[in-house]
Amino acid sequence: MADGTGGGETIMATSEIAHAHAAPQGFIRKYVFSLDHKIIGIQYFFLALTAVWVGMILSLLMRIHLIWPDANLPLIGHIQPETYLSLLTMHGTIMVFFVLTTAPQGGFGNYFLPIQIGAPDMAFPVLNMLSFWTTFVAFVVMIAAFFVTGGAPLHGWTGYPPLSAIQSTGPGEGLGADLWITSIAIFCAASLMGALNFITTTLDLRAKGMSLMRMPLTVWSWFITAILGLLAFGVLLSAGILLLMDRNLGTSFYIPLVVVNGQVMGHRGGSPLLWQHLFWFFGHPEVYIAILPGMGVASQLLSTFSRKPIFGYRAMVYAMLAIGFLGFMVWGHHMFMSGMSPWSAFAFSILTMCIGVPSAIKTFNWLGTLWRGNVRLYTPMLFAIGFVSLFVSGGLSGPFLAQPTLDIPLHDTYFVVGHFHLIMGVAAIFGIFAATYYWVPKMFGRMMNETLGKLHFWFTFIGTYAIFMPMHYLGMAGHPRRYSQLTEVAYLHPLIPLQRFISIAAFITIGAQVIFVLNLFWSIFRGPKASDNPWEATTLEWSTSTPPPHDNFGGHTPVVHNGPYEYGVPGADRDFVMQADPAISPHPAH
Amino acid sequence: MGLALLVVIWLITFISTYFFIAKTWWLPAGVSAAAAGIDRQFAFTYVVMGVVFVLAQCSLGYFVWKYRDRGKAAKAEYSHGNTNLEVVWTVLTAILFVGLNLMGSRIWAAERFEPAGDGALKVEVTGMQFAWYFRYTGPDGKFGLTSPKLMDPSSGSEAAIGLDTSDPAAKDDVVTGTMFLPVNRQVDLTLRAVDVIHSFFVPNFRFKQDAVPGLAIHMHFTPNEIGDYEIACAELCGLGHYKMHGMVKVVSQEDFDKWLTAREAEKQ
C-alpha cells in the first residue's frame, strides 16, 4: 500500500478539488446517469455485450443462408439476397463500432485507466457520462435501421458510394441507410468526447511516482488508442455528413454523373474515391483502435501469469507508438484496386510493410516474456495466449495483402475476410475475453468459474481457427466476398463443401458463447468472493479493495515507487513487488 | 493444461500448413502473361510467412508447456529483456518485409506503370447492375460516342451502354455480353461503370480492377491460353452482386476475326 508521502498528498488534493464528486445516493444517479467512471465502464461493457450478441446472431443467419439458401427460418422466414447483404452490413458495423471499439476502450479502459494511474476518476466525469449515453443513442439509431421501410442498408460496413449515396441503388438504401450514417456520426461524436477524456486523464491525473515509463502497458494502449480516436473519428464524422448531404440535399461530393436503372441522376462531378480516402483514413487507424487495447491486456496478462517482468517494456511502448503513427499513413492499402494511382500504391505498400516491424517486435517480446517464466494457466492467461496465437496467424497474412501485386488476386476475396477477422475480430475479442476473466473479480467482487472458463476457451480457440483459417483457402481459389449465393459462378461450386465446414464450425463456436454468458452472470451474483489481489498482480487496481470504493482508493492516494511488472524480483519476500510497494533498491536491469 | 495447449497450437499450425502445402485449395490455373510472376511472388511470400508462422506458433506452444507452473517454489527468471536481441530481430524483420515488398513491386510496375503497347486490342468494359458489357471498336479502331440519356439496360448490348448511333465512329462499334479475346495478344482495356462501383475480376488472368463511375480506367493484360474463363464481380454492387457474372472466351486470332466479322454483319 502507499506510504503517502507529503508531496503526493498535495498534488492529489488539487486534482480532487477539480474532479471529485460525492458518492451519489439515488438509483438513477448511481447506476443510470452515473458520473463514476467505474459504473460508466460497466455500462459500456454491457452495451458491448448486447451488441456482440446482436452481431453474432446476424453472422449466424448469414452462415445459415450461405449453406441452406432455401431455409425457412422461424420469425425471419426466407432470407433474400438483399437481406443477406443487410445482415452483412449490420454485422460488420455493429461489431466494429459497438463491440471492438466500445468494449476494450469504453468498457475496460474507462474502468481501469483511472485506477491504474492512481486517479480518483476521469478528468471530465460529466463528459464521460455524456459519451456513454451518446454511444447508447447511436446504438438505438443503428438498430432502428432494421425496422424501417426497406430495412437495413446493403452497402457493407464500408458504405462505398454511389451504392450508399443513392436511394434507388437497392432496397435498404432509403431510410435504413440514413439511419446507418446518422448512427455512425453520433458514434463518432461520442468517441471524440471519450478520446479527449482519456488523453487528459492520462496526462494530468497520474499519481505521484507514476511516470510515463511506469505506466502499465494497458494504460499506454488506451492512451494511444484515444489519440488515434481523436484524429480518426473527426474525419469519419465529416465524411459521414457529406454522405448524408449527397443523399438528402442533392450535393455531389461522392457522386459523378450516374445512370441507375436507366435513369440519369442529377449528380455531377463528385468522386467515389474521395469517400474511400476519407473512410480508410479513419478505417485503418480503427483497426488499431480495436487491437491496441488487446495488445495492452495481452502484455499485462502474459507478464502477470508468467510471473516475470514484461520482455522489453520500452520496446513495447515504442512499438505501440510506431504502430499508431504508421497506422495513419497506410490507408491506401485498402485501395490498390480502386483506380487510385499505381504510384501511390507503391508508397502505401512500403509503409504498410513497415508496420510489420513493430508488430513483430511485440510478438517476439510476448514470446520472450513466456520464456523461462513460471506460467500459470488460469483462464485469463489462456485467452492472452490465444490472443498471441491469433495475432500471429492474422498478422502473417498481412504481408500478402500489403503487396499490390498479390492484392490483385486476393483483394475483396475471402482471404481478406479471414485476415481481418483473425486479427481485428477474433484476436481483439480474445483480448476482451482475457480482460473479462482477469478483471471481473475486481469489478464485481466475485471470481469467475475456472472450469466453465476453460471450456469456453477451448471451444472458442479451436472454433475460430476452424472458421477463419479455411477462409484463406477460399480466397486463394478466387472466392469473392459478400456473395449471398454460391450457385451463379461455376468455379465457386467446388468450394461449397468448405463453406459448409465453416458454417458448422461457426454454429458450434457461437453455441459455446452461451457458456461464457452463463459463467459471467452466475459468477457476478453467485461466484466465490474475490480477494483484493487474486492474481498476485502488481498494478494499482490490485492495491485497492475489491470492488474499489467510489473514489477508487478510499480517501487516500497511492504513491508509485516501482515499474508495472516487477515479478520474481531477487531478494523480495514474495514473487511480486506492487507498484505502490516501497521501492526495489537498487533498481536492477533497467 | 500446458501440454493440451502445446498439442492444440501445434495441431492447428500443422493442419493449416498442410492444406497450403498440399495445395488442396490454391490459386486457379494462371493463363495470362503476368500470372507466372504473380504466382512466383505469392509462393515465395507464402514460404517466408509459412516459416515465420510455424516457428512463432511452435515456440508459443512449446514455451507454454516447457515453462508451465509446476506448483513448486520454482521462480521465473528476473529479466527485463535483452536490447541486443531486440535490435537484431527488429533489423531482420525490417529487411525481410521491405525486401519482400521491393521484389513484388517489379511485377506491379510492369502491369500498371506503363500503358498498353501499340498492337493491343482495344476493349471497353462497362459494368452496371448487374451485367458486364464489352465494346470493340470495329474496323475504324475508334470507340464512338455514348450518352447517358440513351442508356436503356432493358434492351441490352449497344442500347445498354447508350451508344450514340448518329456518331459515325459508333456505327461499327460492337457491344456484347460475352468477352471474346484473341490468344497471346495484349488487351488494352478501358473500364467504366454507369451506376455504382463494380470490380472486374478474372481469377485465371490474375486480373482485378474496380470499374468506377466517372472514371475511365486503362489497364492491360495478355491472355495466353485458349479457353473459357469466368468473370466475377469483386466489389459489392447491390442485391445482385453474386450473379454479376460473365465469361471470357479466349480464342485464336483467326477465330476472333471470324467472330468479329460475323457480329459486324449482324449489325448491318
List chain A residues with CB under 8 Å of B203. 409, 477-478, 491
Q: Which residue has the cell 537498487?
A: A586
Q: Which of residues 547-576 of A touch B (CB under 8 A)?
A: 567-570, 575
Q: Do A312 and B42 touch (CB under 8 A)?
A: no
The predicted pLDDT at position A20 comes to: 62
Question: Quick check: A19 pLDDT over 70?
Answer: no
Percentage of residues of chain B with pLDDT beyond 70: 99
pLDDT tens digits for range B43-53: 999 999 999 99
Nearest-by-CA chain B residue for A571: B78
The predicted pLDDT at position A10 comes to: 41
Instruction: Decide if A237 contacts A185 (C-beta within 8 A).
Output: yes
List chain B residues with CB under 8 Å of A345. 108, 112
Nearest-by-CA chain A residue for B153: A262
The predicted pLDDT at position A22 comes to: 74
Nearest-by-CA chain B residue for A486: B242
DSSP B75: -
Q: Give yes or no for A404 touching B (CB within 8 A).
A: yes
CATH code of the domain containing B60: 1.10.287
Nearest CB among B100, B112, B195 relative to A260 is that of B195
For residues B215 and B248, state if they share a domain: yes
- Mean pLDDT, rounded, for A398-404: 95
pLDDT tens digits for range A296-307: 999 999 999 999
List chain A residues with CB under 8 Å of B56. 363, 367, 392
The predicted pLDDT at position A11 comes to: 44
Instruction: Decide if B157 contacts B175 (C-beta within 8 A).
Output: yes
The predicted pLDDT at position B50 comes to: 95
CB within 8 Å of A423: residues ≥ 6 apart: A287, A291, A390, A391, A394, A395, A398
CA gap A263, A1 in Å, rounded: 73
Question: Quick check: A566 pLDDT over 70?
Answer: yes
Quick check: ipTM above 0.90?
A: yes
Q: Which of residues 234-253 of A touch B (CB under 8 A)?
A: none
Question: Quick check: A4 pLDDT over 90?
Answer: no
- Mean pLDDT, rounded, for B10-28: 91
List chain B residues with CB under 8 Å of A354. 94, 97-98
- Mean pLDDT, rounded, for B129-150: 94
Q: Do B108 and A342 touch (CB under 8 A)?
A: yes
Question: Quick check: A145 pLDDT over 60?
Answer: yes
Task: Match domain A6-577 to its CATH number in 1.20.210.10, 3.40.50.11890, 3.40.190.170, 3.40.50.2020.
Answer: 1.20.210.10
Q: Do A405 and B59 touch (CB under 8 A)?
A: no
Backbone dihedral angles phi then psi of residue A156, each to the nearest 5 degrees:
80, 165
| Residue where a domain stops, chosen among B61, B89, B112 | B112
> Which of A580, A586, A554, A585 minimizes the C-alpha distance to A3?
A580
Percentage of residues of chain A with pLDDT beyond 90: 90
A590 pLDDT band, cuts 50/70/90, is: very low
List chain B residues with CB under 8 Å of A483. 241-242
Beta strands B121-128; A576-577: pairing state: unpaired
Q: Which of residues 86-125 of B touch A (CB under 8 A)?
A: 86, 89-90, 93-94, 97-98, 100-101, 104-105, 107-109, 111-113
Question: Quick check: B94 pLDDT over 50?
Answer: yes
The predicted pLDDT at position B156 comes to: 79
Q: Give yes or no for A385 touching B (CB within 8 A).
A: yes
Question: Quick check: B185 pLDDT over 60?
Answer: yes
Q: Do B56 and A404 touch (CB under 8 A)?
A: no
B105 pLDDT band, cuts 50/70/90, is: confident
CA quadruple A268, B232, A338, B145: dihedral sign: negative
B220 within some domain: yes
Q: Can you list the positions of beta strands (E) in B106-151?
A: 121-128, 131-136
The predicted pLDDT at position A30 comes to: 85
The predicted pLDDT at position A6 comes to: 38
Chain B closest-CA separation from residue A303 CA (Å): 11
Question: Quick check: A489 pLDDT over 70?
Answer: yes
pLDDT tens digits for range A154-202: 999 999 999 999 999 999 999 999 999 999 999 999 999 999 999 999 9
Instruction: Convert A189-236 into a string of H (helix), E (strand) and C (coil).
Output: HHHHHHHHHHHHHHHHCCCCCCCHHHCCHHHHHHHHHHHHHHHHHHHH
Three cell numbers written together for A572:
523480495
Q: Do A478 and B239 touch (CB under 8 A)?
A: no
Cα angle A432-A437-A442, degrees, rounded to a multiple of 5? 110
Q: What three-state secondary structure class fits B231?
A: strand
Question: Quick check: A119 pLDDT over 60?
Answer: yes
Question: Quick check: A13 pLDDT over 80?
Answer: no
Q: Give yes or no for B201 touching A (CB within 8 A).
A: yes
- Mean pLDDT, rounded, for B216-243: 96
The predicted pLDDT at position B153 comes to: 86
Q: What three-state secondary structure class fits B83?
A: helix
Q: How far is CA A552 from the centre of its chain?
A: 25
Question: Quick check: A17 pLDDT over 60?
Answer: no
DSSP B148: G
In 3-state terms, chain B is what percent helix, strand and coil (to 5)?
45, 25, 35
B129 within some domain: yes
List chain A residues with CB under 8 Å of B1. 377, 382, 454
Q: Give yes or no for A212 touching B (CB within 8 A).
A: no
For residues B29 and B129, state if they share a domain: no
* Burial of A7: CB neighbours in 10 Å, binned 0-12, 13-18, 19+: exposed
The predicted pLDDT at position A516 comes to: 98
Q: Which of residues 218-237 of A touch B (CB under 8 A)?
A: none
CA gap A155, A482 in Å, rounded: 10
Percentage of residues of chain A with pLDDT beyond 70: 96
Three cell numbers written together for B173:
462499334
pLDDT tens digits for range A41-59: 999 999 999 999 999 999 9
Nearest-by-CA chain B residue for A463: B12
Q: Which of B18, B113, B208 to mutate to test the interface with A (most CBs of A within 10 A)?
A: B208
- Mean pLDDT, rounded, for A231-253: 97
Three cell numbers written together for A542:
490490485
Q: Which residue has the cell 504473380?
A: B38
Q: What three-state secondary structure class fits B127?
A: strand
Question: Quick check: A504 pLDDT over 70?
Answer: yes
Question: Quick check: B74 pLDDT over 80?
Answer: no
Question: Quick check: A587 pLDDT over 70?
Answer: no
B86 pLDDT band, cuts 50/70/90, is: confident
B77 pLDDT band, cuts 50/70/90, is: confident
pLDDT tens digits for range A438-481: 999 999 999 999 999 999 999 999 999 999 999 999 999 999 99
Q: Do A308 and B152 touch (CB under 8 A)?
A: no
Three cell numbers written together for B206:
490474375
Q: Do B203 and A409 touch (CB under 8 A)?
A: yes
The amino acid occupying position A425 is G
> Which of A298, A326, A317 minimizes the C-alpha distance to A214?
A317
The predicted pLDDT at position A123 comes to: 97
Least confident among A9-13, A384-388, B218-222: A9-13
Instruction: Count structural domains, chain B.
Output: 2
The predicted pLDDT at position B110 comes to: 86
Q: Give yes or no for A353 touching B (CB within 8 A).
A: yes
Three cell numbers written together for B196:
455504382
Nearest CB among B9, B76, B239 relative to A85 is that of B239
DSSP string, A397-456: THHHHTSHHHHHHHTTBHHHHHHHIIIIIIHHHHHHHHHHHHHHHHHHSBPPPHHHHHHH
Q: Domain residues of chain A, as ranges?
A: 6-577
Q: Which of A164, A406, A536 to mutate to test the interface with B (most CBs of B within 10 A)?
A: A406
Q: Give yes or no for A497 touching B (CB within 8 A).
A: no
- Mean pLDDT, rounded, for A255-269: 95
Q: Give yes or no for B1 touching A (CB within 8 A).
A: yes
> Which of A71, A290, A376 minimizes the C-alpha distance to B76?
A376
Question: Quick check: A331 pLDDT over 80?
Answer: yes
B9 within some domain: yes
B74 within some domain: no
> Which of B111, B87, B196 minimizes the C-alpha distance to A156?
B196
Nearest CB among A373, A406, A490 relative to B42 is that of A406
For residues B189 and B106, state if they share a domain: no
Question: Quick check: A125 pLDDT over 60?
Answer: yes
Chain B closest-CA separation from residue A181 CA (Å): 18
pTM for the full predicted model = 0.95
Chain B closest-CA separation from residue A130 CA (Å): 36
- Mean pLDDT, rounded, for A69-79: 86
Question: Quick check: A532 pLDDT over 80?
Answer: yes
Question: Quick check: A554 pLDDT over 70?
Answer: yes
Domain of B246 in residue numbering reads as: 121-267
For residues B85 and B165, state if they share a domain: no
Chain B closest-CA separation from residue A537 CA (Å): 15
List chain A residues with CB under 8 Å of B49. 396-397, 399-400
A12 pLDDT band, cuts 50/70/90, is: very low
Mean pLDDT of chain A: 93
CATH code of the domain containing B251: 2.60.40.420
Q: Do B94 and A474 touch (CB under 8 A)?
A: no
Q: Give yes or no for A156 touching B (CB within 8 A).
A: yes
Q: How far lies A100's CA from each of A95, A293, A386, in Å?
A: 6, 10, 17
Question: Quick check: A589 pLDDT over 90?
Answer: no
Alpha-carbon radius of gyration of chain B: 26
Q: At what angle do helices A81-93 and A37-67 cross, to 10 degrees?
A: 150
